[in-house]
Amino acid sequence: MEDITRNKYDLIGTVVVTTWMGNKGWAKLHIITDEKGLKDILQNPRQDYIQFGVASVDYASFNIYKTEIKETDDKIIEVQYKEPVKTIEDGTLDLPDNLLELFLDDNNFQIVNW
C-alpha cells in the first residue's frame, strides 16, 4: 500500500443568527471537516451549519485546528497542532445585552461533520 497523507480540520467557534420571527440566537460549534469542507467554509463562513432554518446567519467566528494524518501499511500517525492555524471572523456580533451574557457563558458545543 502506498503511504497516504491527508489533513483533518477542527473548527471551534460560533454562529449568531436571526430567526424568521426576528429573534436572535446562536450555536457554539465544533465542525469536523477535510480540505474540501474547509475551502467551502472559508469561502462562506456564515452558513446554517446545523440547519436552523433561519432568516440569516449574521456572524461566524472559528479557530481552525489542523491534524495531519499519515497512513502506512502498518500504522496511522496523527500530528495535532495545539494552536489554531487560522482564525476566521465574518459579520457582526450583535446580540442584545440580556443574551450577550448567556452567549459568553455558553459552553455547550454541537458537533457537526461538514
- The length of the chain in residues reads 114
The answer to whether 33 touches 45, Cβ cutoff 8 Å, is no
Whole-model pTM: value is: 0.88
State the pLDDT at residue 1. Answer: 66
pLDDT on residue 44: 96
Domains identified in the chain, total number: 1
The 10s digit of each residue's pLDDT in 37-50 is 999 999 999 999 98
Domain assignment of residue 78, given as a range:
4-113
